[in-house]
Structure 1
Amino acid sequence: MSADDEPPDEEVFHPLGESWQDDLEDLLEETEYDAELGMEMGRDAMRVTNGDLSEAEFYDRYHDDVMAEFGEDERPVARPDDEDGEDGGIGSTLVGLASGDESRREMLKKAGAGMGFASLGWGAVDQQAPARSVEETAGEVEGADEGTQWGMTIDLEHCDGCLACVTACNQEHNWDEGANWMYVLAYEDGEVESPDPGTVDVEPGECSDNPVVQEFNYLVRPCQHCTDAPCEKVCPTTARHTRDEGGLVLTDYEVCIGCRYCQVACPYGVNYFQWDDPDVDRSELDSEGIYDKRGRPVSRRAPRGVMSKCVFDPARQDGNAGEELIGTSACEQACPPNVIQFGDKNNPASDPQRYEENPARARTIINLFTELPSPNSIESSLTGVDPTLDAVVEAVDGLTTETIALAKGIEMTQEEYEEEAPPGDTLPEKEQTVIDVVSAIEATGLDLESDDALTQLGLTVEGFEGPSQDIEVTSREDVADTLFGDYVDAPESQFELLADIGTNPNVTYLGHQPGPEAHQVPGPVSYADVGMLDTRQEALDEQTVDLDFS
């Protein structure tokens, strides 16, 4: 690489902006490790994911410095002498822990003796610090579509800002207050505005009963568990690594030396350094929740002096918490409006992929599952009732012509998948319950497939009279899909955070993408309301963070 290809030393490279980058550099300078090296490696790790620098060049550029600083270089990147990629590269084998009385972490310590989203930033870099006086095609990763890839689809349009996901994550993983592995913020960006929170009277746990909370604009931020994670590329010890099974980006607490280079290299600001002894003692943690199936301590709150972040619950995915929790996450299960869909992003039959493929239909299933009477109660209520639509609606509380039309539409548009739905998914079960409602109604003798019934339900092309008259419909399935969209006000767009820098994040968002002037505003429920700490907002209030929106 020529000198002309070298980025200027003083450039602002971090997507979260100059203030964030400056704070990171200040914090690195307080550690025992080389701050300049950490900043340069973080910058170039992002250049690798963006396709501006090859992995081999990245490895070679910093190998000598990493060896001098840490005593070894275990970065999982392709090396100049890896002709066939067998000994290195993205899929390289992780080095095992050293045996003996000293942990590898101790040995290494001795040896070592933007965009809309970016404009939001995430506040103070040090969320727990005590007070002190993207020519490669970016993001194309070989083998990225093979096997299970745990990830999320998050529907921002139907988020209600209740913070249940944040508190559930904390209850499961016991991280110190302020180290928000899951973070939810309300924002404005000049295109969309949020209500004045002073005019909103809502108690935690009651957001679903107050429609005004839907008028806020939210962004939900877990770790993105990138397929090509720059944080992993700068870790000298293999502490930060991508697990082959499930593609989870994790931190081995016994290997991490707390150099914080991963914090610099992460474009999303999801890393937290554990400054002090954790609030929850190790003796209070279940070891099955700490160790994954490989025996590596990668979950629950971090010990003192190491890095932590959202982990997508490896203990759950490995079955340590019971087979019924495989394919689930605490935040997903706690979400009252079901806007977090966790599952296998490589399986089209999974909850996140079904939701992403047809948000209106998935949202309709979720709503109907809650609103409709059970199939058994419908059968009981319809005993002896005339097989007409009007008679059925009159006989069963909770049934309307609209909900029957929607349920029939779900049945009409049911898709057969080649793969089975992964464990932990709930959309297939909810869909089947909705279809069972249709069967219970038809058990009375009412033929919902007849032209007369379909006409009454508004499910024929000829009789289509939905609000979306500007949409062309050519089949009954088209009519049903249009009805779904009108019923739930489904999000019309989807995006990934910082998609153009090549990290291949495994979190997909549905809804409005924050614009370049986005800035955080108070939401309907504060972190204090739910017994949590929003260090981000406190930093803004104290003006310790200078957000640059230019």
Structure 2
Amino acid sequence: MSTDDESFHPLGQEWETELEGMLDETEYDSDLGMQMAQDAMRVTKGELSEAEFHEKYHDDVMDEFGVDDRPTEAAYEQSQEESSGAMGRMLSAFDGDGDESRRDVMKKMGVGAAAVGLGAWGTVDDSQPSLGISQEGDNDEGDGDFQWGMAIDLERCDGCLSCVEACAEENNLDQGVNWMYVLEYDEPREGTPENSRNRLVRPCQHCTDAPCEKVCPTTARHTRDSDGLVLTDYDVCIGCRYCQVACPYGVNYFQWDEPDITTDEIAEQADDMGMGGDHMVDERDRWVDSRAPRGTMSKCTMCPTRQDAGMGDDRVGTTACQEACPPDAINFGNMRDDTSDPQVYASNPSRGRTLSLLSVGDEFTESLEEDLDGEDDDLESVLDATSLDEDTLGLLLAIEITAETEMAAGDGTIAGYEEDVQNALEVLSDHGLDLESEEVLSELGLADAPGETELDDEDENGDDENGEEEENGEEDEEEDEDEFDGPDVDAAQNLLEAFAGVPSSNFRLLEDMGTNPNVVYLGNEPGPNAEQREPTGSGVAYENISYQRADGDRVQLVDNRKDVLDEKTVGDTGLNLGGW
């Protein structure tokens, strides 16, 4: 561990001290955990290679755990092959014995048997690929073209906590285990009103290069090759909590006691929803979803049950938090697809906000068809006959005009809104209103009015650059009008920005650390002096929200895990957000 006064952890010295005290409560080596976490962050920053990291701690990890299955093993072996021409030493500590699970083998070796989760669901996939190492051919979908992630518009977040409630309810979380977390912070700076509300929505960032995975000795914390989700296999987790120390974002929770909800109750709930037992095991039969068993780590999963179609095809590409967010501040999808919801939203937030705020739906389209029946097809008649006004129609057309990519396939929120807008505009076009005409576009402020465009090399009096009057001015004006080349994209964008605003920033948390987080934020970027605000009963008020678990009980949300477990785990209090 660093002996410098400055903390190695981005969340500050107080957080680091709490983490060290937390490790002291386990049966594992606290100093080793702190040192590995510090160096894992050095690896993501490019200051230490994965091969060097693996070699540096291999002997200590073997002595402490009896096994070293960290994903950095592949990098170490490759470096040995390249340097010596040999195959490199094999660091695999054991092979499975028949039908025995890895957890059972670890028990025989005396590796944290008392802290191992009591999982009875699923089997362990020993061939799970490692994060950050090229795994060609490991998975038909593992070609780097898919990565689940989010775009979160912090300026749209109203602090209602619907996302936290939905996550806790769907995953049957114990009180205080907030996989999704919304915090408020103060940022002293000139011109900031005292009652201003800066909010940060914090799920797991599902980093492409996650430090938490690098320190896990058992492959419990791993990245799913098919879609980049960073998950915890509860059957393999031994509860050493090294991942909690190595996470720069503070998203991990340790399950001290038996969970309030049994696996039987989760399975019964899943049956009622048509899922069977799949709300716990994923498509690989690894137990990575729903609440954690005793003695293991848990965090936001980005809903693998949904992504594996365990809740139906219509919920693939959704999460519980995204689905529950009233202002559509959370957009979920494939971060490597330019047509996905988060990428479309982040590329033009004003447009995404407008789509959400208008939220044109089937009922609106149907009412347009009814209202227009038998009416004239000019703009004035259409506006008089329907609930449309010039401003709304202008925004609908601006959305269409500023589309940069083809609409994403599937049932994404933004994609759905775009389809609704297209359907509404199609009704107007089918009625006979020419939405591409210069007359209509200019009336809506999306093109210059006919005759406003100046003639080339002429002043407003019709004289050419030498002051000589054109003989055929009228004829030239007609030619100029014939050159109308469609809507003004800049005018359309200005219309969207005037209506929905422009976020003050676009950022990823701790991007300079090299973790490659897969959550992009819009607006409200915390500065170097940001400090979490203590709950005051206003704004984000956890005490006003409750959620229902599988046993039927309603449980009040709690802002601080310590309030529930009496200092047994690190809660989300007093974060110094200066590094964010």
In structure 2, distance between residues paired with 1:347 and 1:170: 29
Q: How does 1:310-459 map to 2 (within 5 A)?
A: 310-370=300-360, 374-397=364-387, 399-417=388-406, 421=408, 423-459=410-446
Equivalence for 2:57: 62
Match of 1:81 in 2: 77
Query: 1:172-183, aligned counterparts within 5 Å?
Result: 172-183=170-181
Cα distance in 1, alignment partners of residues 111 and 495 from structure 2: 63
Whether 1:291 aligns to 2:291 is: no
Gap change, CA 1:189 and 1:319, over 3 Å in 2: same
RCO higher in structure (CA 8 A, sep ≥6): 1
Q: Secondary structure at 2:216's aligned position in 1?
A: coil
Change (3 A) 1:519 1:76: same
Counterpart of 1:42 in structure 2 is: 37
State whether structure 2 residue 239 is matched by structure 1 residue 250: no
Q: Match of 2:423, as an amino acid?
A: D
Q: Is the 8 A contact 1:378 1:440 kept in 2?
A: yes
Secondary structure at 2:321 match in 1: helix
- C-alpha deviations, 1:338-364, integer Å up to 9, x for none? 110001001111001101111111221
1:102, CA displacement in angstroms? 6.8
1:482 matched to 2:507: no
Structure 2 CA distance for aligned equivalents of residues 235 and 258 of structure 1: 10
Larger Rg belongs to: 2
8 A contact 2:132–2:208 mirrored in 1: no
Q: How far apart, in 1, do the equivalents of 2:295 and 2:200 lie?
A: 29
Question: 1:190 offset after TM fit, Å?
Answer: 1.6
Q: Which stretch of structure 1 is more off in the superposition, 244-253 or 437-446?
A: 437-446
- In 1, Cα distance between equivalents of 2:427 and 2:94: 58
> Secondary structure of the equivalent of 2:398?
helix
Within 5 A, what are the aligned runs for 1:190-205? 190-191=188-189, 193=192, 196=195
* Residues 9, 193 of structure 1: alpha-carbon distance in 2 compared, 3 angstrom cutoff: closer
My pick for the range that moved more, 102-111 or 490-499, is 102-111
**One-letter code aligned to 2:12:** G
Residues 124-139 of structure 1 correspond to what in structure 2 (within 5 A)?
Answer: none
Q: In structure 1, what residue type is equivalent to 2:77?
A: D
Q: Residues 153 and 510 of structure 1 are in contact (CA less than 8 Å); yes or no, is this contact kept in structure 2?
A: yes
Query: How far apart, in 2, do the equivalents of 1:507 and 1:16 lie?
Result: 18
Q: What is the alpha-carbon distance in structure 2 between the residues aligned to residue 383 and residue 252 of structure 1?
A: 59
Tell me which of 510, 530, 543 is aligned to 1:528. 543
| 2:250 paired residue among 263, 269, 273 | 269
Distance in structure 1 (CA, Å) of the matches to 2:438 and 2:447: 8
Q: 3-state DSSP class of the match of 1:250?
A: strand
Cα distance in structure 2, aligned partners of 1:329 and 1:546: 28
Q: Indicate how the Cα distance of structure 1 residues 186 and 34 shifts in structure 2: closer, same or farther if over 3 A, else same.
A: same
Residue from 480, 491, 500 that aligns with 2:503: 491
Aligned length: 486
SS in 1 for 2:359: helix
Q: Aligned-pair distance for 1:142? A: 6.6
- 1:505 partner amino acid: P
Question: What is the root-mean-square deviation in Å for CA atoms of aligned residues?
Answer: 3.3
Residues 460, 93 of structure 1: alpha-carbon distance in 2 compared, 3 angstrom cutoff? farther
Question: Are positions 1:153 and 2:140 aligned together?
Answer: no
Cα drift, residue 193 of structure 1: 5.0
Question: Which string of whole-angstrom CA distances, capped at 9 and with x for unpartnered residues, describes residues 220-246 of structure 1?
Answer: 000000000000000000000011010
TM-score by length of structure 1 reads: 0.81
Query: Could you tell me how far 1:440 is from its partner in structure 2?
Result: 1.8
1:1-35 CA-to-partner distances (Å, cap 9, x unmatched) read xxxxx954775101111011111111111111000
Q: Point out where structure 1 has 5 or more consecutive residues left out of the alignment.
A: 1-5, 114-138, 197-214, 466-473
Aligned equivalents of 1:439 and 1:253: distance in 2? 51
How much does 1:413 deviate?
A: 2.7
Q: What is the CA distance between 1:331 and its match in structure 2? A: 0.5
> Aligned partners of 1:18 and 1:190: how far apart in 2?
21
| Gap change, CA 1:228 and 1:548, over 3 Å in 2 | closer
The change in CA–CA distance for 1:60 and 1:461 in structure 2 (over 3 A counts) is farther
Q: Matches of 1:182 and 1:194 in 2, distance apart?
A: 28
Residue 111 of structure 1: aligned partner? 110
> What fraction of aligned residue pairs are identical, expressed as a percent?
49
- Once the two structures are superposed, residues 42-96 of structure 1 have per-residue CA deviations (whole angstroms, 9 ceiling, x without a partner) of 00000000001111110011000000000010000144332469x999xx99999
Whether the aligned pair in 2 keeps the contact of 1:161 and 1:218 (CA below 8 Å) is yes
- C-alpha distance after superposition, 1:265-321 (max 9, x if no partner): 000000000011111111111321000011000010000110000001111111112
- Inter-partner Cα distance in structure 2 for 1:108 and 1:194: 57
Distance 1:327 1:95 in 2: 37
Q: Amino acid of the residue matched to residue 268 of structure 1? A: Y
SS in 1 for 2:424: helix
Shift of 1:157: 0.9
Q: Which runs of 5+ in 2 are unaligned?
A: 113-130, 136-141, 268-276, 453-485, 547-556
Evaluate the alpha carbon distance shift between residue 106 and residue 217 of structure 1 in structure 2; reply closer, same or farther with a 3 A threshold. farther
SS in 2 for 1:289: coil
Give 1:107 deviation, angstroms. Answer: 2.3
Match of 1:513 among 513, 520, 525: 525
Contact 1:141–1:227, Cα closer than 8 Å, also in 2: no
Shift of 1:526: 0.9
Q: 2:513 aligns with which of 475, 497, 501?
A: 501
Q: 1:499/1:151 Cα in 2 relative to 1: closer, same or farther (>3 Å)?
A: same
Q: Pick from 202, 226, 229: which aligns with 1:221? A: 202
Of the three residues 1, 18, 22, the one matched with 2:13 is: 18
**2:156 partner letter:** H
